[in-house]
Chains A and B, each alone.
Chain A
Amino acid sequence: MSATVQTSACPACAAAPLAQEVAGRAPSGGDEVMLSLPAIHCAACISGVERSLSAMPGVRRARVNLTLKRAMIDVDPGTEPATLAQALTSEGWEAHELDAATLAGTQVDRTGRDLLMRLGVAGFAMMNVMLLSVAVWSGAEAATRDLFHWISATIAIPTIAFSAQPFFRNAWTALRAARLNMDVPISLAILLAAGMSVYETAQSGEHAYFDAALSLTFFLLAGRYLDYRTRSVARSAAQELAALEVPRALRVAADGEAMVPISELAVGDMVRVLPGARVPVDGIVTSGASEIDRSLLTGESLPVATGEGAEVNAGEVNLTGALTVRVTAAGEDSTLHRLADLVAVAETTRNRYTSLADRAARIYAPAVHLLAFAAFVGWLWISGGDVRLSLNIAVAVLIITCPCALGLAVPAVTTAASGRLFKRGLLIKSATALERLAEVDTVVFDKTGTLTTGAPVAENLGDHARRDLELALALAEGSAHPLAQSLALAARTAGVRPANVTDLREVPGHGVEAVWQGQRVRLGRADWTGADAAAQTATYLQVGGRVLTFRFADRLRDGAEQAVAALQAQGMRVLLLSGDNATAVAELAGRVGIETFEAGVLPQDKAARVEALMADGRRVLMVGDGLNDTAALAAAHASISPASALEATRVVSDIVLLGGSLAPLGDTLATARSATRRIRENFGIAAIYNMIAIPIALTGFATPLAAALAMSGSSICVSLNALRLR
């Protein structure tokens, strides 16, 4: 709905006091550690994990939360969370360390509990007042009716004062800004109904609307709570992804090396980056030589050689040799963060999207007020100045038209749809993402890391003699470089056994060399082995005077072909934009069946291409994972990124693909379209209900019983319709 739970607009504001509360709950002197346990699912897992953890040194108390798939552990100060995670993983329970600071906001979910409390109180009050009302509807009279009305009033008034506060607060904020939102008619209806009923009761009147005011509060709070749950589940899952990347760096100081949080690094510090690790900061290499993988930043699939004096950026992956880097920018100032900031600016353009609910509210809110006011003036004129009668009818109109069904129409559908998509491994982060996704007619894919896994597969083993393969295997096994490992794996699978080599050593940044039958052999980069570099990812074997080329192709991500085929079958235009070289892109486009592609696209060109498509009236869905895609992701109508993407990229996208496969993409669009159809149907149901109910209320025939029946009836219809979603 247009009005949202206010505190959720700024999770960071709520996080600070909550973090203190977390700290307060941990026993004095101890630390609280959180581990993510993605694989647990059963009672045996819970007790197994808790038993294993409790037996570990330094652990005071451990409790598993199966809903969040997390373990909360009280530990002695100084216990390393990473060691606990490793120990647990080695005992067979897959565990990952979580950054507790990032998660502080989700652990103590105060807003959620607050809403649930208000909902519970409203529910109990509604049931009791309904019981009393049944007596009145079935004919209680005179003193008995008055007594029942008074009792209802004593229950209803405090309940309304407590439970309806979120609506009052939102309505007040809107009115102060001279706007109208859904909460204004809601608050007016609740307040007027309660006030009018008290007055009627005092006058021994026949009609009191306490039950209507309470059921209004209850149904609308239910919608609000559903809405909140959906978003908090998505938010906590998204935060968990972020918390999995504990930002640490290995700082080299005079007294040795130590792991420190990135926030403690200063410009000029020396940082050691081990092979296989992600570069944590921007900096200049002071010693060491290696190759770095820039694919997340630029989309290039070929690793780049780096050495003393070269610049490295946060987010790149170091492949072969250890590097010592002098920090030039860390944390907030690093390239990664600056790009993320740019994205935050770009994102505001998308926030201009008006959801269906907002569009409905924009028509609905003024209409309701005008109608109630017209009823009041009209009846004042017809009855010749009977204020009490006119006010009664105006209140009945307000209650009947109040957007109970509307308040449930959208949250019920989005809750059902998000739940379904979450089971298929999709995390819906944005409230309007489903609606935007349903409008998509063009899909733009990124290549490296999105359609491919970013892991190379050796292609042309068959072209080489067995003896050469044996030699290549022997050399490849001496290196941790991804190309070497992939080559070794492929050779082993083909049944090749390594040749006998001696003096095997890795030359960081270049390759591996060894001595074989008295001659020097090398496996590595083109310039080092004396080969002509191929256009494609490749490694070269130098034996005596010969140089052999081993070519690699990027492996397709699971389900990439199905996803593209499914999208094309739905009539989508599918494009591929990549920063990689033309050969690689053309080859991949052919494999997955994409006809339109562009290679060598710079990040800003990607965004410009997406914007050009949007200007042509196309609704673009961007699927990408690299930092070079972030601007395009932000510019697109809707965006999806895989969980393997950098955090900055995931923050921009509306939807995060949690599993490794792309296959659910086709279904996702179908689900989004059917969810939007259900929302429209629900608006239709609400409109029909109003068309019948409003004339009855306007003509003054609406009794409290009719109001109660109509309100519950339409709410139940709308909720059931939402559950039909497949």
Chain B
Amino acid sequence: MEVLVYLIPISLILGGLGLGAFVWTLKSRQYDDPDGDSQRILSDQYDDKPKQD
């Protein structure tokens, strides 16, 4: 049962990573325009560098 000592923290960290990722998506407004984002990925306009704001 010693394996629990590793497995439990690992499962908690993985869960925490998932939660962190979710919080990040929410904070960066990725749920504001679900329809638009699903279309934008199909855009045929390629950039050779990131957009400058």
Residues of A within 8 A of B (CB): 42-43, 46-47, 61, 64-68, 109, 113, 116-117, 120-121, 124, 127-128, 131, 144, 147, 151, 155
* Chain A residues near B42 (CB-CB < 8 A): 43
**Is B35 at the interface (CB under 8 A from chain A)?**
yes
Q: Are B36 and A117 in contact (CB under 8 A)?
A: no
- Closest A residue to B53 by beta carbon equals A61
- Closest B residue to A42 by beta carbon equals B39
Interface set, chain B 4-35, CB cutoff 8 A to A: 4, 8, 11-12, 15, 18-19, 22-23, 26, 31-35
- Most chain B CB neighbours (cut-off 10 Å) among A61, A113, A127, A131: A113
Q: Are A67 and B43 in contact (CB under 8 A)?
A: no
Q: Are B22 and A66 in contact (CB under 8 A)?
A: no
* Chain B residues near A65 (CB-CB < 8 A): 32-33, 36
Given contacts A61-B53, A128-B12, contact A46 B19 (CB under 8 A): no
Subset of 20 A-B contacts with CB under 8 Å: A42-B39, A46-B36, A46-B43, A47-B45, A61-B53, A65-B36, A66-B36, A66-B39, A67-B34, A68-B33, A109-B32, A113-B31, A117-B26, A120-B22, A120-B23, A124-B15, A127-B15, A128-B11, A131-B11, A144-B1
Interface set, chain B 32-53, CB cutoff 8 A to A: 32-36, 39-40, 42-45, 53
CB B3 to nearest CB in A, in angstroms, measures: 12
What is the bound-complex CA distance between A12 and B39, given in angstroms? 33
* Chain A residues near B36 (CB-CB < 8 A): 46, 64-67
What is the bound-complex CA distance between A43 and B36, given in angstroms? 8
> Which of these, A67, A116, A128, contacts B26 with CB under 8 Å?
A116
Q: Are B35 and A66 in contact (CB under 8 A)?
A: yes
Given contacts A47-B45, A67-B33, A151-B8, contact A128 B15 (CB under 8 A): yes
What is the bound-complex CA distance between A285 and B39, given in angstroms? 52
What is the bound-complex CA distance between A332 and B34, given in angstroms? 38
Summed over the interface, the residue pairs from A and B with CB atoms below 8 Å come to a total of 54
What is the bound-complex CA distance between A117 and B45, given in angstroms? 33
CB B13 to nearest CB in A, in angstroms, measures: 11
Q: Are B8 and A121 in contact (CB under 8 A)?
A: no
Q: How many chain B residues have a CB neighbour from A under 8 Å?
A: 24
Q: Are B33 and A43 in contact (CB under 8 A)?
A: no
> Which of these, B4, B8, B33, B44, contacts A66 with CB under 8 Å?
B33
* Chain A residues near B31 (CB-CB < 8 A): 113, 116
Q: Are A46 and B11 in contact (CB under 8 A)?
A: no
* Chain B residues near A131 (CB-CB < 8 A): 11
- Closest B residue to A60 by beta carbon equals B53
CB A48 to nearest CB in B, in angstroms, measures: 10
- Closest A residue to B29 by beta carbon equals A113
Given contacts A46-B39, A124-B18, A128-B12, contact A113 B34 (CB under 8 A): no
CB A113 to nearest CB in B, in angstroms, measures: 6
CB B14 to nearest CB in A, in angstroms, measures: 9
Given known contacts A66-B35, A67-B36, A120-B23, what 16 new A-B pairs fall within 8 Å (CB)?
A: A46-B40, A47-B45, A61-B53, A65-B36, A67-B32, A68-B33, A113-B26, A116-B31, A117-B23, A120-B19, A128-B12, A128-B15, A131-B11, A144-B1, A144-B4, A151-B8
What is the bound-complex CA distance between A124 and B12, given in angstroms? 10
* Chain A residues near B32 (CB-CB < 8 A): 65, 67, 109
* Chain A residues near B19 (CB-CB < 8 A): 120-121, 124
CB A229 to nearest CB in B, in angstroms, measures: 11
- Closest B residue to A107 by beta carbon equals B32
Cβ-closest 9 pairs across A and B = A66-B36, A43-B39, A66-B35, A67-B35, A65-B33, A124-B19, A43-B42, A128-B15, A120-B22
- Closest A residue to B15 by beta carbon equals A128
What is the bound-complex CA distance between A66 and B8, given in angstroms? 43
CB A73 to nearest CB in B, in angstroms, measures: 14
- Closest B residue to A124 by beta carbon equals B19
What is the bound-complex CA distance between A565 and B21, given in angstroms? 54
CB B46 to nearest CB in A, in angstroms, measures: 11
CB A602 to nearest CB in B, in angstroms, measures: 46
What is the bound-complex CA distance between A47 and B40, given in angstroms? 8
What is the bound-complex CA distance between A61 and B53, given in angstroms? 8
CB A333 to nearest CB in B, in angstroms, measures: 38
Q: Are A120 and B26 in contact (CB under 8 A)?
A: yes
- Most chain A CB neighbours (cut-off 10 Å) among B23, B32, B44: B32
What is the bound-complex CA distance between A68 and B15, given in angstroms? 33
What is the bound-complex CA distance between A43 and B23, given in angstroms? 27
What is the bound-complex CA distance between A117 and B24, given in angstroms? 10
CB B20 to nearest CB in A, in angstroms, measures: 10
Q: Are B1 and A43 in contact (CB under 8 A)?
A: no
* Chain A residues near B39 (CB-CB < 8 A): 42-43, 46, 66
* Chain A residues near B53 (CB-CB < 8 A): 61
* Chain B residues near A155 (CB-CB < 8 A): 12
CB A233 to nearest CB in B, in angstroms, measures: 12
What is the bound-complex CA distance between A334 and B31, given in angstroms? 41
